[in-house]
């Protein structure tokens, strides 16, 4: 099974997926990375591990659908079976979601449906929650919704700072995402 991982930033989840695939815990190939940010550290990781990258500048396209059309062509060319969003900071249009219906996963740092949006860890922390978590879900037209593949709770203790909570969440993400991908791929075949 071929994966395309979409990244915009640090790429620590991309790294966890790569490591898992190399150890054969995740039985899939990271066929390529799609990236919209030339400054993303994720690009260095792809380079280090010889993962082909398609880096694009959204500003050079007429609209979202026009760069998505190009991406779909690339994914079809590379025979990608599953799209894995890992810190990709763009919302996909119904066109793209339709082209890969039930074949796009996302990871979100909260226990969805709680704390949707771009600041989920901070929002849960500021709300004084006793627990938050991580969710891997199938991407549908509605943002941060869609069927849940796996979810794990993370306790927020009194001693936690936003920073320590972020580290806890990221550690859980790195374990959960490869596992969820593996489980989801199995359900597809
Ligand atoms: C993760 O916290 C993920 O849940 C969210 O974006 C962050 C990406 O981090 N969607 P990284 O680029 O994988 O390090």
Q: How many domains does the chain have?
A: 1
CA distances from 180 to 23, 25, 53, 105 (A): 16, 11, 23, 9
Query: What's the CA gap between 131 and 139, in Å, rounded?
Result: 24
29-56 per-position pLDDT tens digit: 999 999 999 999 999 999 999 999 999 9
CATH of the domain at 143: 3.40.50.170
Query: What's the CA gap between 160 and 164, in Å, rounded?
Result: 6
Q: How many Cα atoms within 13 Å fall on the side-chain side of residue 22? A: 9
144-183 per-position pLDDT tens digit: 999 999 999 999 999 999 999 999 999 999 999 999 999 9
48-77 per-position pLDDT tens digit: 999 999 999 999 999 999 999 999 999 999
137 is catalytic: no
Query: What's the CA gap between 11 and 28, in Å, rounded?
Result: 18
Q: Whose CA is nearest to atom 9 of ligand 1?
A: 87
Minimum-distance ligand 1 atom for the alpha carbon of 85: 10
Q: What's the rounded mean pLDDT across residues 11-38? A: 98
Q: Which two tokens stand for residue 115?
A: 């704390």
> Is 0.95 topped by the overall pTM?
yes
129-141 per-position pLDDT tens digit: 999 999 999 999 9
Structural domain span for residue 160: 2-188
Q: Whose CA is nearest to atom 5 of ligand 1?
A: 87
């Amino acid at each position: 099974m071929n994966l395309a991982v979409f990244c915009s930033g640090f790429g620590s989840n991309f790294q966890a997926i790569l490591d898992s695939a190399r150890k054969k815990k995740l039985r899939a190939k990271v066929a390529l990375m799609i990236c919209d940010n030339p400054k993303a550290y994720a690009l260095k990781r792809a380079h280090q591990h010889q993962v082909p990258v398609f880096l694009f500048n959204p500003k050079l396209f007429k609209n979202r659908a026009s760069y998505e059309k190009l991406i779909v062509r690339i994914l079809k060319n590379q025979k990608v079976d599953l799209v894995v969003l890992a810190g990709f900071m763009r919302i996909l249009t119904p066109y793209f979601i339709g082209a890969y219906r039930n074949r796009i996963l996302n990871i979100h740092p909260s226990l969805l449906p709680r704390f949707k949006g771009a600041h989920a860890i901070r929002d849960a922390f500021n709300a004084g929650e006793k627990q938050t978590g991580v969710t891997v879900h199938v991407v549908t037209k509605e943002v941060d919704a869609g069927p849940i593949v796996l979810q794990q709770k993370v306790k927020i203790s009194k001693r936690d700072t936003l920073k320590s909570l972020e580290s806890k969440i990221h550690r859980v993400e790195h374990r959960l995402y490869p596992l969820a991908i593996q489980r989801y791929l199995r359900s597809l075949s």
